[in-house]
Amino acid sequence: MGVSYVLCESNSVDIPSNSGALTFNRGFNVPSGMVDEVILRVTTANTSNAILADFGNVLTSCRLIFNGSTTTDFRSGYSSASNNAASQANYFLNSLGDSRMVEVPSDTSKEAYFRWPVGRQLPGGGTSRLETTITWSATAAAVASGTVQWWIRYNDNTETTTSIAAATSFSHAASAENVIVRLPSGIPGSVAGIFIQNDSAADQLNGVTVLSQSNYSIDPQMWRAFNSDLYNGIVYADDDVSTTAQQYAVTCAGGLWIPLFGLSMEDDIRLIVDSSSVTTRTYTPVITSPVTGKTEPQGTQTTPLVSNVSANVVAKAED
How many other CB atoms are there within 10 angstroms of residue 260's CB atom? 17
In a domain, residue 152? The reply is yes
CATH of the domain at 10: 2.60.120.730
DSSP for the chain, please give it. Answer: --EEEEEEEEESSS---TTS-EEEEEEEEE--EEEEEEEEEEEEEE-TTSSSS-GGGGEEEEEEEETTEEEEEEE-S---TT--S--HHHHHHHHSSTTSEEEE--SSEEEEEEEEEEEEEEPSSS-EEEEEEEEEPPPSS-EEEEEEEEEEEEETT--EEEEEPPPEEEEE-SSEEEEEE---TT--SEEEEEEEEESSSS--EEEEEETTT-SS-B-HHHHHHHTTTTTT-EEE--TTT-SSS-EEES--TTEEEEEEEEEESSS-EEEEEEESSSEEEEEEEEEEEE--SPBPP-----S-----HHHHHHHHHH-
pLDDT in the model for residue 207 = 98
Q: What is the pLDDT of residues 4-52, one digit of tens each?
A: 999 999 999 999 999 999 999 999 999 999 999 999 999 999 999 999 9
Within-domain flag for 295: no
Q: Distance (Å, rounded) from C-alpha 155 to C-alpha 6?
A: 11
pLDDT, one tens digit per residue, over 210-240 is 999 999 999 999 999 999 999 999 999 999 9
| Calpha distance 90→168 (Å, rounded) | 20
Q: Which residues lie closer than 8 Å to 246 by C-beta, 6 or more apart?
A: 102, 105, 235, 236, 237
Nearest to 291 by CA among 118, 90, 62: 118
Q: Does residue 310 belong to any structural domain of this protein?
A: no
User: pLDDT tens across 53-75, in order?
Assistant: 999 999 999 999 999 999 999 99
Kindly list the strands in the beta sheet with 143-155, ordered across the sheet, starting from the edge strand earlier in the chain. Answer: 3-11, 143-155, 33-46, 109-122, 101-104
In a domain, 306, yes or no: no
- Is the confidence at residue 305, as pLDDT, over 60? no
Bridge pairing between strands 143-155 and 3-11: antiparallel
- How many domains are there within the chain? 1
Q: How far apart are CA 104 and CA 110, in angstroms?
A: 7
Q: Is residue 187 part of a domain?
A: yes
What confidence category does residue 294 fall into, taking pLDDT thresholds of 50, 70 and 90? Answer: low
Which of 68, 60, 75, 74 minimizes the C-alpha distance to 27? 68
Model confidence at 308: pLDDT above 60: no
Domain span holding position 72: 3-290
**282, part of any domain:** yes
pLDDT at site 125: 78
Residue 319 inside a domain? The answer is no
Does residue 305 form part of some domain?
Answer: no
